Structure 1
Amino acid sequence: MKSFENYFMNKQYERVKELGDKLAEIDPLIDWECFRPIVASMYYNNTEKGGRPNIDEIVMIKMLVLQSWYGLSDPELERQANDRISFQKFLGLPERIPDRSTVWAFRERLIDTGKDEVIWEELQRQIDSKGLKIKEGVIQDATFITADPGHQRINEPRGPEAKTRRNKDGEWTKKHGKSYYGHKLHTLADIDHGLIRRLETTTAEIHDSQVDLSKPGEVVYRDRGYFGGPCKGYNATMDRNVRGHPITDKQKRRNKRISSKRAPGERPYAVIKNIFKSGHQLVTTTLRTHTKNLFTCFNYNLLQLNTLQKNNPT
């Protein structure tokens, strides 16, 4: 009976594929099976303790990919995964679609165990194995990921004690006269391929220059916001005026060269905010925001890998 259902679903999906399915394009770009042991290690139902069988590990990871790709809440993810043929095909036509509670619990378990970071490391390993290593240099930048501040007075409880739906960890900051509440996503992307290599999430008031994602030996292109900040790599940060010491013509020319190098670093944020709709997060802590950011950057890399493959077919 199940084989007949899958046959029917595949026949229905053929029309969807003819119209264009981005999920079908990104699915073969990486080896999803390599993520299975990472996730499987979070469960104990295959030990003597036993327990209810967990949903397939790859299905769970792909659910978070779908959520991030389409900017869906947990309830909406559950609804669309049960409704859309392209979603079910991407998931491998599983017998059971995870419900919203299962998705939430899975994401929380990733955070508690740190497996979200291991998933990111595995993605980077696979990228490197394709020969897409950092060679020319990297670009570090940051963008605001806003959150819901709520309407409580400033002296009311924050953190775990707060009885509110507002973000519990976010902070206020101001840039160019405009106020932002929430977090910052800091990323480091390579110039060679436009892929995000490292990321960090902080609260919004943390200055860009306080976060250094570079490694020794890397040429790091950064804007004026990082002036005076630490840098483990070769520091290609734009100069800025200091009181009593305006920048020289030579420094202006250097700034222009750096600016042209770091300009592509803005593209990931345009994709993250305009395509994935992830510039505003409704989760309540920095850790949860970071995991959301991680899967958004995961998706950006899949999108960029697809672009690279189309531009350089083998």
Structure 2
Amino acid sequence: MKQPGFFDVEERLSRLSGPGDQLEAFSRTVDFEVFRPDLEKALSYSDGSKGGRPPFDPVLMFRILVIQTLNNLSDERTEYLINDRLSFMRFPGLGLSGRVPDAKTVWLFRERLTQAGAIERLFDRFDATLRNAGYLPMSGQILDATLVAAPKQRNTNAEKEDIRAGQIPQDWQDKPSKLSHKDRHARWTLKFTKAKRQENGTIPSTDLAIPFFGYKSHISIDRKFRLIRKWKATDAAASDGARLREGLLDKTNMASTVWADTAYRSKANEDFMEKHGFVSKVHRKKPHLKPMPRHIQRSNAGKSVIRSRVEHVFADQKSQTGLFVRTVGITRATMRVGLANIVYNMRRFLLLERINAAA
């Protein structure tokens, strides 16, 4: 057997760089040091005067969360792959002989950020980086929401009634271990999807309604660069339209036009947008028990050409990063959705920089 050489690891890493390592491109394009002040403020680590093992560098740990989000990994799988893959080891700045964070350390780091509510500040910090790079929100904005699945709960009817009333079921109060595994914030809803063609070749006249359990990710993207500018996480049963008036609109966009589907069409939303200087391009609904007028059909079709761009964002998140909530509770779900939005903006930033370099 050939004896390992001194530079074997460097040669192997250079081979990984040749075909194009996405994580290495992240390191070249994204300045992760901009997150350090917010990370240190949220973590509130001690100064080490009392001794003990020093914590891992917060930026190193945040890079690990990026790896985890990019590949939709559990904490245990994240630990294994960092030890197994050279590219995963290189991205956070770890070496073959260095100490690697275990699954519990990754969980504790993410949990501390979650409880500190740091994800909004981290998202705003990177959004400021995008603006400084010249990617200002312009050409209007597009709003939409998508369902995010969570582990289904098996509860009795009485337990469901208590949860809907905002109460903890009596049987759970004396069982803290059981309570910690019960998601009291996720909700059931109906997901309407296109009906499948039948065996005889006909298509049913109504869409299929599929029960869905989990949360919902609401976003607002700018039309020009398709970057997420505003976002919010709610339970799956929350109304899409009501979120428009809860800070989902980006007032810094250089254009005042707003595109959205019929779920956002209401008198309250139209009055709100008019009051705050926004121009509504929200789809109009079909009149009840009447055919859709031709001029409204043409208008909605023109709006769909632009509005459909937001669907590409959700498709990217679900196909590339496998958007899914493994945790319990709206606070942790917000952390998961926020990380997915940051990572999407990083990937989009990488693409925009490549386009500019090629141009």
Aligned to 1:140: 143
- For 1:49 and 1:219, the matched residues in 2 are separated by 56
- For 2:127 and 2:140, the matched residues in 1 are separated by 16
- For 2:225 and 2:250, the matched residues in 1 are separated by 18
Report 1:86-235 matches (<5 A). Answer: 86-93=87-94, 95-156=98-159, 161=173, 163=178, 165-176=181-192, 177-212=209-244, 213-216=248-251, 218-228=256-266, 230=269, 231=273, 232=276, 233-235=278-280
Report 1:1-314 matches (<5 A). Answer: 8-41=8-41, 42-46=43-47, 52-93=53-94, 95-156=98-159, 161=173, 163=178, 165-176=181-192, 177-212=209-244, 213-216=248-251, 218-228=256-266, 230=269, 231=273, 232=276, 233-243=278-288, 248-278=293-323, 280-313=324-357
- CA 190–224 in structure 1, closer or farther in 2 if over 3 Å, else same: same
TM-score when normalising by structure 2: 0.80
Partner of 1:92, secondary structure, is: coil
- After superposition, the C-alpha distances for 1:125-150 in whole angstroms (9 at most, x for unaligned) are 00001110111011111000011123
- 2:230, 2:250 within 8 Å by CA — same for their partners in 1? no
AA in 1 matched with 2:184: K
AA in 2 matched with 1:26: F
Tell which deviates more after alignment, 284-293 or 157-166.
157-166
- 1:147, 1:167 within 8 Å by CA — same for their partners in 2? no
Could you say which structure has the larger radius of gyration?
A: 2
TM-score when normalising by structure 1: 0.90
C-alpha displacement at 1:246, in angstroms? 6.1
- CA 222–271 in structure 1, closer or farther in 2 if over 3 Å, else same: same
Q: Percent identical across equivalent pairs?
A: 27
- For 1:262 and 1:155, the matched residues in 2 are separated by 42
AA in 2 matched with 1:259: S
Tell which deviates more after alignment, 209-218 or 198-207.
209-218
Q: CA RMSD in A?
A: 2.4
Tell which deviates more after alignment, 284-293 or 9-18.
9-18
- After superposition, the C-alpha distances for 1:192-241 in whole angstroms (9 at most, x for unaligned) are 11111111100000111111111346321101111115245332211112
AA in 1 matched with 2:24: A
AA in 2 matched with 1:90: F
AA in 2 matched with 1:112: Q
- 1:236, 1:258 within 8 Å by CA — same for their partners in 2? yes
Partner of 2:56, secondary structure, is: coil
- CA 274–44 in structure 1, closer or farther in 2 if over 3 Å, else same: closer
Gaps of 5+ in 2: 193-208
C-alpha displacement at 1:154, in angstroms? 3.2
C-alpha displacement at 1:20, in angstroms? 2.8
Partner of 2:157, secondary structure, is: coil
Gaps of 5+ in 1: none
AA in 2 matched with 1:191: R
- CA 56–271 in structure 1, closer or farther in 2 if over 3 Å, else same: same
- For 2:6 and 2:257, the matched residues in 1 are separated by 50
- For 1:245 and 1:46, the matched residues in 2 are separated by 69
- After superposition, the C-alpha distances for 1:7-64 in whole angstroms (9 at most, x for unaligned) are 5533221122223311111222221111112111222312766664221111111111
- CA 117–172 in structure 1, closer or farther in 2 if over 3 Å, else same: same
C-alpha displacement at 1:244, in angstroms? 7.0
